[in-house]
Structures are given as structure tokens and as C-alpha cells.
Structure 1
Amino acid sequence: MKITKIEAIPFAIPYTHPLKFASGEAHVAEHVLVRIHGEDGIVGHAEAPPRPYTYGETQAGIKAVIETIFAPQIVGLDVFDREKIHARLNRTVGNPCAKGAVDIAVWDIVGKVLGRPVTTLLGGYTDRMRVSHMVGFDDPARTVEIAQRFKETYGITTFKIKVGRRPYTLDVDVCRALRAHLGDTVDLYIDGNRGWTAAEAARALKAMEDLDLLMAEELNPADDVLGRRWLVGRARIPFYADESVSRPAEVVRELLDGGATAISIKTARTGFTYSQRVHFLCESLGIENYIGNQIDGQVGTMASLVFGAAYKGTAERAGELSNFLDMSDDLLAEPLRIERGELTVRDLPGTGVVIDEDKLSRYRCDT
């Protein structure tokens, strides 16, 4: 099945409220829908969510690199020649989300050609995952209100709390309020998006030792090599690398340098092929990992779910699969539904993504 055409369609859907965290804030989901066409009219889909404050990619940049650099190099290749496809993509440095979306769309076609869900081709461990919800910067009362609503409405019992503000005491107050209100009925963990120094992060962790946090993620920059190593050595909970591990080689570097003790996998930046390599690397070293979120829409969330459900190690932890709920609309013909705190993989060939063409026409911003 040869690739005949590649499209990168920019679209914009407002969030219902601003999402705020240490590395920036988002008001509109300005993403890119990647469509790869194969012979016989088969089409693969994926979502590329640019994060300029994290990886340097923009919506316009993702569209440009896919259409002007990647497409001329891989149109005409067979979708089963995935190593050849990646060899050509990797001639270009950076651009992790553009590459990840191309990879996922190729896998979508492969699943459709074979008539099998991609999750079974990857590993087929289960057909569902528990959901974790990410809560952005807010005051303690508002954060408690949000978490309580998501717990009651969707059955979600795991929450990631964005931290990294200065002074750190407000973030500590938020976490303390959540634990006091929700008790041990929920799991809590924190993500600093590199907002604190090593010393600030160490003080914050000390102040929250009694809150039974699951883990901490990217509390300070990985480029602060000695500070990061010092902080991770003092941490009494798993310290996850996220933004600092956009490639398998960076996973090795962070683990060997003592910059992390666990890894966040995001299919938005490593696709299925390289996410698989990261997962197997962690598994072979006895390192925990979980499915993270890049504020994906429902198309991207489907990809995260498909991958996470494929493996025992990722499926046994709650994955960040709910932030599409912060968007005012989406592109799927049949919206995702979180029930009893879980999302279920659709029993369809490929990734299960079916686009609502009317919604795409409404929200695309290149026409």
C-alpha cells in the first residue's frame, strides 16, 4: 500500500477556559490534522498539537515541514516500510510532533489495510484505560471544585496538578486543599513544567511529604544538570521526565545522568514507533512510565489510548486522556465518552478515528 498524498490541515478550536501552567498558557487549540492517503482511497489520520514553548513547533511550522519537506520524501513509499519512512523523516532535526503525527497516520493506514485495530498490532493487552485529568493553575477553592466535578461526572479519581508558580506556597496550598477535600479517594501528582529551581522544588516536596503524592514531573529544567541530579536524589517519590525526553536517546541520557527515575510517554511527540521503543527501553530497565497528555484533542487522545492500552505497563496506570474536555468542540464524528473513569478503545480497523467533515470545514483555518 503506497502513500499517494499527505495533507496537513490547520484547525483552531477555542478552549472553554484558559489552560495555565508554568511554561505558558493556551486559549485556543491551534492544532494540525494530518491526513495520509494510500492507494484504494484508504486514509490515515493523526493530530499534531504544536507546543512552541516546549518544542519550538508552531501550527504554521508543522504544516510547512510536513507538506514541503516530509511529503516529497515519503510519498511513493509503502506504508509497511516504516524504517525507511523514519530514516527519511530523521534527516530533518527536531519537529517531534510533526514526525509523531506522520507515524501515527501511517499506522492508522496499516491497521486499515490489515483490518485490525492498531492497539492489537502494537500489543493488544486490553481495550481500556483509567483516565487521569490535568488541572491547570488556579486557586485552591476553584481547583477543588473542578476535581470534585470531574470525579462526580466522569468517575475520574486521578489528578495531575500543575505547579511551578512562585512563590511555591500557593501550589502547596492547592495540593493540600485537594487532599483535605477528597481524602484518599483520589490519587494526586504534580507537574512543574520546569517552573521551579531545584531548591524551590526541594522545599515544595518537603512541604508536601504528608500528602501521599504519586510522583512529580519536570519540577525544574533538565538543563540544570547538577541541580536536577541533586533534586532527584533527594526526592522520595518517582521523578518523571517529560519535556526533556522527546527522543529515545534523551530517555537514556536522563536516566543515566540521574535526571529522572521514570518517564512520561506522549504519542504526540514520539508517534507509535518511537513510543514503543521508549516503553521497551523502560521495561527492560525496570523503569516506570505512563501515558502523558499534550493537551491533545480527541483525535490525539485516541492515539494515546490506542498505544497505552496495548501494553501492560502503561495500561495499569491512569493515562492523561481527558483534556479534550477543556475544548469547546472537536473533530470526531462520534465523540469520546469517559465512563466510570475509563476510556475504551474502539473495535475498528486502524486507530478508530472517524472525522466529522462538517466540523473540520468549520474549524479549519487554511480556507
Structure 2
Amino acid sequence: MPATIASIETLLVDLPTIRPHKLSMATMACQTLVLVRLRDSDGLEGLGEATTIGGLSYGPESPESIKCNIDAYLAPLLIGQSTANLNALRARMQRHVKANGFAKSALETALLDLQGKRLGLSVAELLGGARQTHLPVLWTLASGDTQRDIDEAFQRLDDRRHCDFKLKIGANGVDDDVRHVSAIKAAVGERAGIRVDVNQAWDEATAVRGIAALEDAGIALVEQPTPARQHAGLVRLAERFIVPMLADEAVNDAIDGFNLAASGFSGAFALKIAKAGGPLGALELASVAQAAGIGLYGGTMLEGTIGTTAALHAWATLAPMAWGTEMFGPLLLKDDIVVEPLHYHEFGVELPKGPGLGVTLDEDKLAFYRRKDD
């Protein structure tokens, strides 16, 4: 008899950040992870994670709603079902629950982890096999203070931990943001690539003015300068400037990717397993991008180690991405809830070894950081 899903437990885990992380829509001093522990009838456990940014300031799913919707709607659909057919379980979730990609991603990750442990295979092997085991990782400079960001960049370069940097802008006036970014690029020179993430903060006219100045300053990439649903404006910006545009919030899954590519967009897509409803959905989007000649970037929702590792297993199955990855989420946190943290070195991160995700929970740390009223 094949194993069935016996129980699904969700926990809210609050982890402090190493410094305030300033975005256009929120400033973070704590990150809340939604941890999923999925157990089968043979006693095996699969781990998953859903994480978003700033409660509801980033998107329509909050940590609390993710937990609630898994508990009330998604878990009852899965409990009692065979663990052997992930495609059937994905289809069941899609058929009965609309949207809720973050919640579905956590469950899909837990099912992949469980299946990997059962078969003695890594998640990357379940997804076809790793083409790379050391993936490049950039660092986000988001203190909001120019000199502090410059000092931080040089420290990361000297430590050989990161050699590309992203700056979060959009919370201040465009002229102030351009001065901030230009000063950092001038300071690091050719030692590092600099790109910006506007997090949808500009209208198209402001974007034209800001991007022109950023292009002159030598910025390599501009991420989501305008609101997510304004696809036509993003296409116009991509056509107007030499510096590439990176679509993030504008592209969640393969359907979004196809529509944006068909409208004439060129540049790059930010893959995120949470936006796409899981690692498999993110890889479907990657296939659309590759067919359209659009570059790829491994994005993060600032997940902890479990969510970050799930994404790394997916990215490892792809050819090296044109724009690398930003899988630095665990480095932004003061502590971790796993026994063995990810190994960051030589401007990148190692893909964990072992069955499933290759990650083991630290039960004491989990007990300390879990939200007690969940």
C-alpha cells in the first residue's frame, strides 16, 4: 500500500533580522516564516516554508492568512491522499483553491522533501538533476544610508561572499534615489555589479527620468520600476532603454510569462517559487522564458533556510542564470531554525546534499522562535 498523507501542521516562526531592511513598501526588522510539517502514514516528514514581506504590504497573502488557508482549506484536500503522485496533488489543490500560491508552494515543497526522503534522492534529482551545485548569490544593500551601504559592499567583497549588489529604492524621491545609487556605483567601480529594485514605486513618467539617470550611472539592471499590472508600460520601458528591465511582481507563473513575452517584453524574469505556487511552477515559467529568449534571475521572498533551499534545488536544475540569484534570505536573519545552515562562500552558496531538501530542523530553536499563540 502506498503511503498517505497523515497530518499537516503549520507554525508561525518570527526571526529577527540583522538590521532594518528598507523596501519601498515596508521596513523589516523581523521576518515571519510559515513552516509546514507534512507527515505520512509511515512516519516520514516533509518540510515546507511560505514567507512573504511586510505582512500584506507586498501582496495578498500574509503569514497569518497562509497558515489559516492551509489549515482550513488546503490541508483537508490533501490528508488521506497518496503521497506517490505529486502532479495529482497539485491538480487537486489547483482545482479546489484559487490563487494562494505561497501556501501551495509550501505544501509542494513539503511533498517534494517527503518524496526525496522516501526514495533517497535530493529534490534537485526529483526535478531532473542538478546542473550546478554552487550558485552565485548577490546581496541587497538596503540600510538606506549611502556610506553604510558602501562600507557593507566592500566588506562583502573582501569576504568573497558577494560580488553583485541590489539596491532597494523607491521610498524616497527619484533624485535622492539616483544620487544614492550613483554614489555607491562610483565607489565600487568595476569591482561589483550594481542593480536596483524599485518595487513598483514609480509611474511611467518618473521611471523614464529615473532610468535614464541610472543608465548613465552604469546600473546593470532595473527591477520592476512600475506597478505590476501595467504590462504595456513595462514593455515600453524595456524598448526605450539599453539597461534591461527585470519583471518581478508583473510575472508570477507561466501564463504571466507567456503574456508578457507575447506583448514584446525583453529583459529578464524573476523566478520565485512562492509566486509560481511551488518549484514546479517556477520551472514551468523558466521554460517559457527560455523559449522567448528572456533572461532568468533566481528571486527570493526573503525566505529562511527551508524556503531558500527549495528554490536552490529548482535553480540548480537550470543552466546558469543570466542574472544569477538573490538567495541570501538566511543571511538577513540573526538566527536559524535548522541544524546545518547553508554554506555561503566564493560569491555563492552550496546546494545542500542528502535526500529531500537536505535540511534538518533544530527543534530547540524552533520551539524558541515559534509564535506561541498560533
Shorter-chain TM range is over 0.9
Give the structure 1 partner of residue 307 of structure 2: 300
2:137·2:328 contact (CA, 8 Å) conserved in 1? yes
1:158·1:318 contact (CA, 8 Å) conserved in 2? no
Q: Identify the match of residue 99 of structure 1 among 98, 104, 128.
A: 104
Q: Which moved more, 1:205-214 or 1:6-15?
A: 205-214
Q: Identify the match of residue 292 of structure 2 among 268, 285, 288.
A: 285
1:110 maps to a residue whose letter is: Q
Q: 1:23 to 1:47 in 2, by over 3 A?
A: same
2:120 is aligned with 1:118: no
Alpha-carbon offset, residue 16 of structure 1: 2.2
CA distance in 2, matches of 1:68, 1:16: 34
TM-score (norm 1): 0.94
Give the structure 1 partner of residue 17 of structure 2: 15
Residues 106-145 of structure 1 aligned to structure 2 (within 5 Å): 106-122=111-127, 123-136=129-142, 138-145=144-151
2:313 maps to a residue whose letter is: V
Residues 52-67 of structure 1 aligned to structure 2 (within 5 Å): 52-67=56-71
Give the structure 2 partner of residue 147 of structure 1: 153
1:189·1:215 contact (CA, 8 Å) conserved in 2? yes
TM-score (norm 2): 0.93
Q: Over residues 208-249 of structure 1, what are the superposed CA-to-partner deviations in whole Å (9 max), with x where a residue is unaligned? A: 223333321110113334433332221212211111222221
CA distance in 2, matches of 1:119, 1:289: 18
1:218 maps to a residue whose letter is: Q
Give the structure 2 partner of residue 69 of structure 1: 73
Alpha-carbon offset, residue 65 of structure 1: 0.7
1:241·1:263 contact (CA, 8 Å) conserved in 2? yes
2:8·2:79 contact (CA, 8 Å) conserved in 1? yes
How many residues end up aligned between the 2 structures?
366
2:307 maps to a residue whose letter is: G
CA distance in 2, matches of 1:23, 1:253: 26
Alpha-carbon offset, residue 323 of structure 1: 3.0
1:278 maps to a residue whose letter is: L
Q: 1:205 to 1:13 in 2, by over 3 A?
A: same
1:97·1:269 contact (CA, 8 Å) conserved in 2? yes
Give the structure 2 partner of residue 194 of structure 1: 200
2:224·2:245 contact (CA, 8 Å) conserved in 1? yes
Q: 1:235 to 1:222 in 2, by over 3 A?
A: farther
Aligned alpha-carbon RMSD (Å): 1.8
2:215·2:243 contact (CA, 8 Å) conserved in 1? no
Q: 1:222 to 1:50 in 2, by over 3 A?
A: closer
Aligned structure 1 segments of 4 or more residues deviating by more than 4 angstroms? none
Alpha-carbon offset, residue 113 of structure 1: 1.4
CA distance in 2, matches of 1:364, 1:119: 29
Give the structure 1 partner of residue 238 of structure 2: 232
Q: 1:304 to 1:228 in 2, by over 3 A?
A: same
* Residue identity (%): 28
The SS at the match of 2:274 is helix
Q: Identify the match of residue 91 of structure 2 among 72, 87, 91.
A: 87
Q: 1:331 to 1:24 in 2, by over 3 A?
A: same
CA distance in 1, matches of 2:361, 2:134: 21
2:182 is aligned with 1:176: yes
The SS at the match of 2:190 is helix
The SS at the match of 1:189 is strand
